[in-house]
Structure 1
Amino acid sequence: MALAVFVALLALVYFAYRKDVDQAHGRVSAGSQIAQTHCGPVEYATAGNGPPVLVVHGAGGGFDQGLKVARLLVEGGFQVIAPSRFGYLRTPMPEKRGRLAETQAGAHACLLDTLELSRVAVLGVSAGAPSSMRFCLERPERCSTLVLMVPAYPATPTGEQRELTAFERFFLETTLRSDFIFWTLISIAPDTMTRMILATPPEDVKRASPDEQARVREMLWHILPVRRRADGLRHEAASIANAPGPEELKAIETPTLLISAENDLFRTYAPAQSISKQIPNARFIGYPTGGHLLAGHEAEAWREISNFIRRQH
C-alpha cells in the first residue's frame, strides 16, 4: 500500500513537472524571429509602436524576459526590440568568446542594421548592462539614451571583486543547470528562490501590490526552461568582466539614467552610484527597498525611464 502511494505521488509530481516545463518550452518557441545578421543569427522579438528602445535582458533571460520587463514601455507608446543575448534560447554563442560584452555590443548593432534602425534608446537590465554600455561607448551616434537598471558591474567602487560564497556558487551552478531541480525549488521554496535567484527580499515582495507580486512570480517561473539558457548563464561572468572600465565610462557621451535599490542582494547599488559619477551626463535614482526587481517601485521607475527617454528623443 505504501509503495503504491509513493508511486502515485511520483507520478503526480512528474506530470505536474512535465506540464509546466512543456508550457515553458511552448512559450519561448513562439513570438520571436531569427535575424540573419552580419554578426550571425540573433533571436529577437518586437512589441509596440513609437520611439524604438533596444531592451537588453539580464541573466537567465532571453527575448521573453526583455518583453516582460519592458511591457510598461510598450503600454507607454514605445517600440521595444528585445533580442536574446549570446547563449540564450535561439541565439548561439560566438566562436570567439573573448571580450564578450564588446562582441555582444557588435551583435546589437548588427541586429539594428538588419532592422534598418539607425538610432535607438538602449536599456540594459542587470547583466545586460555591460554590452549596453559598450554599445553606447563605441557607437554614440546610434544611441540616443542609455538606461541601466540594477546594472551588473565587475567590481565595487573600491575596485574589489565581489566573490560568491562557496554555498552560493554551488547553489547557482546546481540549480541553474537542471529544469527539474529549478522547477522543484520554485514549487516548494519560492521565497528562497526569490532571494537567491532574483536577489530580492521576499518581505519586499509581500509588501508590494498584488500585481507586483504576480510580476515577481512570473519572473521566477519564466526562467524555465533553464536548460535553454544554460550556455548564456555559463558565460555571464566573462561578459560582466568585459564591462567598460572607469576611463571608458568617462568617454560615454550618451545621456544616461541609472536605477538601483539599496537592498539589491546582487549589490548593484554602490556600483550604479559610482558609474553615474563617472559618466559625464548621468543621473542616478536609488530606492531604499525593492531588491533587484525593484519590488514596490516598478510603476515609479518606469515613469522615470519613459520620461527620461522622451526628453532625449
Structure 2
Amino acid sequence: MPLHTVRTSMRNLLAAGTVLIALATGASAQTDTASGVPLWKILPPTPVALSADANGLPVQSGHVRMDDGAKIYYAQAGEGEPVLLLHGGLANSDYMSGLARALLAAHYQVIVVDSRGHGRSSLGKTPIGYDRMADDAVAVLSHLKIERAAVVGWSDGGIQGIDLALRHPDRITRVFSFAPNITTDGVDTSAENTPTVKAFIARTKQEYRHLSPSPGRFGKFEASIEHMWSDQPNWTDAQVAAITTPMWIVDGDHDEMIHLPHIQHIAQVIPQAGLLILPNTSHFAFLQNPELFSETVINFLKLPTP
C-alpha cells in the first residue's frame, strides 16, 4: 500500500468513532531503502534530546519533586494544544523527541517526561508502578499549570495513558496508546531474544549511564522494572470497559513484544477506542517510520472531540 493510500485511509478515520483498520497488506513489503532490510527488523538511532533542538523554539526543562523524594524530569516547548509524550520501559524521553519535533512543526505544545527511575529522573522510595508513574505525569502537568493534555504513549507510556484514562480522566483529552498491554499475558516473553530487542536493551543500558543521576545503579533500576512487569498491569475487561476518554490503540504489524490479538482485544473492550495497525513496523515504529507515525498521531489529534 503506497504512503498516499495510507494517508487517505487516515483521513477517512477523522469522522469515525470506533474503527478497525489494518494497513499491513501491501505496505508490509516496503523495505529500508539503504540496506534492503525490512523496516521492522532495524533499530534506528535514538533521536537527539528535545532540550538540544526544539525547532528553534525555547525549551523549559526541570524536575518536579514528588512526595517520596523522586525527581521527575520534564521538558516543554511550543504553544497550542498541549500533548504529553510518555516513553517506554527502560528508555527515556529522547525516544519521543522525533515525534515532539513533528508536533512542534504542526504548532502543538509538547511536554516530554522521563518516567521515574528512567533517564534523568530519580527512582524515589516508592515501588515503581504504572499508577505511580501516571501520578508523576499529572504532577508535571500541574507544575506547568496545564489543566488537560492529550497523551501519546509508547509501550509502558501507552499503559500510563490507559491508567490516566482510568484514574485521571479530568486531566486528559484523548489517548494515543501505542503497543500497550492491559494484562501481563499480553507480552511475548520470547521478545528479549530477538536481535532488535537485544540491541534496544544494550542501548538503554548505555543511555542510563549517561543520563541518570545514579548511573551506577542500572541493575537496581532494571530489577525494579522487571518486578513491576511481573504482575502489572492487571486490569480486568470490566475496568477498562469503563473508560470514556477517546482513544486509539495502535501497534506495528511486526511487534516483537506484544501479541497482536491482545492489542485487538484492548480496542474491542474499550468503548471509545479505535484500532490501528501500522505496516512494516514493530514495537519501535516511531523510529522505523517516523513520518507515518507522526502523521498518524497528528491526524488523531485533529479528530473532533465527541
TM-score bin, normalised by smaller chain: 0.5 to 0.7
Match in the other structure for 2:5? none
Match in the other structure for 1:57? 87
Amino acid at match of 2:225: E
Shift of 1:54: 0.9
Match in the other structure for 1:237? 226
Q: CA RMSD for the aligned pairs?
A: 3.2
Match in the other structure for 1:249? 240
Residue 310 (1) aligns with residue 302 (2): yes
Task: Give the distance between the partners of 2:177 and 2:197, measured in 1 at CA.
Answer: 21
Relative distance call for 1:286 and 1:69 in structure 2 (3 A) is same
Residue 89 (1) aligns with residue 71 (2): no
Q: Which runs of 5+ in 2 are unaligned?
A: 1-45, 53-58
Match in the other structure for 1:226? 208
Shift of 1:256: 0.3
Deviations 1:205-246 (A, max 9, x none): xxxxxxxxxxxxxxx867632333735443333444432332
1:38-77 aligned within 5 A: 40-77=70-107
Q: Is the 8 A contact 1:49 1:79 kept in 2?
A: yes
1:267-282 aligned within 5 A: 267-282=258-273
Relative distance call for 1:250 and 1:197 in structure 2 (3 A) is farther
Relative distance call for 1:296 and 1:105 in structure 2 (3 A) is closer
Q: Which runs of 5+ in 1 are unaligned?
A: 1-23, 172-191, 200-219
Shift of 1:111: 1.2
Match in the other structure for 1:132? 161
Q: Is the 8 A contact 1:53 1:78 kept in 2?
A: yes
Match in the other structure for 1:209? none
1:149 to 178, 192, 214: 178
**Matched position secondary structure for 1:260:** strand
Amino acid at match of 1:121: A
Task: Give the distance between the partners of 2:51 and 2:171, measured in 1 at CA.
Answer: 30
Match in the other structure for 1:174? none
Task: Give the distance between the partners of 1:38 and 1:130, measured in 2 at CA.
Answer: 23
Deviations 1:276-313 (A, max 9, x none): 11111010111342122226643233222212212246
Task: Give the distance between the partners of 2:91 and 2:49, measured in 1 at CA.
Answer: 13
Amino acid at match of 2:123: M
Match in the other structure for 2:249? 258
Shift of 1:27: 6.6
Match in the other structure for 1:122? 151
Residue 109 (1) aligns with residue 129 (2): no
Match in the other structure for 1:196? 198
Identity level (%): 22
Deviates more, 1:290-299 or 1:116-125: 290-299
Match in the other structure for 1:283? 274
Question: Which has a greater percent of helix?
Answer: 1
**Matched position secondary structure for 1:292:** coil
Amino acid at match of 1:34: H
Q: Pick the structure with greater CA Rg.
A: 1
Shift of 1:251: 1.2
Q: Structure 1 stretches (4+) deviating beyond 6 angstroms?
A: 26-31
**Matched position secondary structure for 1:128:** helix
Deviates more, 1:292-301 or 1:282-291: 292-301
